[in-house]
Chains A and B, each alone.
Chain A
């Protein structure tokens, strides 16, 4: 079975602090895809990143960076120098072949980040 765990449910930081959002996944697939999405207060999810299981290179996009480690089944997301606009709920998700061979997509429960001025 596929599973995504975001152990932190809520984090509050002060602007300019760095913050890391943890994501741990479980899957038996050798080929799978990991995602991060951002859900601001407006409600619409915004795609941030997708990585496949064969690409363990870390990625940096501006203040955002992602650390993918297959050895620990983790795909953590770090925001450097956080800003108030980063306040949102962040979801980690996993796509792979579920039982029966059909594709499955599973979301974590999300982590609410509040960045205070």
Chain B
């Protein structure tokens, strides 16, 4: 089945540790995205990539980093510099650009204590 996988579904970390969230897609989409969702808030764009080896900051990139070494993969690292890392993280992909419909993964719920 074509789709987006995110792992793990739940992740627990101690404050001060970096953590990497996985996102893989087999839809052959060029563009991939990372969003953060907090209770009562809409989705906020962290980073996006429209082509391998290139990515752009979204609205809340501080404290996060990404890489796009392969078309299928777009991992997100939540660094210790992110002040409030506990959130629900969603990965998505689209054919090419932000104007296209996006397909989402099941999300990773990160808890940092």
Interface residues of A (CB under 8 A from B): 4, 9, 33, 35, 37, 42-47, 50, 91, 93, 95, 102-110
Is A108 a contact of B42 with CB atoms below 8 Å?
Answer: yes
Which of B42, B44, B56 makes the CB contact (< 8 A) with A102? B56
Interface string of B75-113 (1 = CB under 8 A from A): 000000000000010101000011111111111000000
Does residue B43 face the partner (Cβ distance < 8 Å to A)? yes
Is B104 a contact of A44 with CB atoms below 8 Å?
Answer: yes
Which of B88, B98, B101 makes the CB contact (< 8 A) with A104? B98
Is B106 a contact of A91 with CB atoms below 8 Å?
Answer: no
Is B107 a contact of A43 with CB atoms below 8 Å?
Answer: yes
Interface residues of B (CB under 8 A from A): 40-45, 56, 88, 90, 92, 97-107
Q: Which residues of A contact B92 (CB under 8 A)?
A: 45
Q: How many A-B residue pairs have CB under 8 A?
A: 49
**How far does the Cβ of A6 sit from chain B's closest Cβ, in whole Å?**
8
Which of B41, B44, B56, B107 makes the CB contact (< 8 A) with A44? B107
Is A105 a contact of B98 with CB atoms below 8 Å?
Answer: yes
A104-B98, A107-B42, A109-B42 in contact; A45/B56 too (CB < 8 A)? no
Which of B99, B101, B105, B106 makes the CB contact (< 8 A) with A103? B99
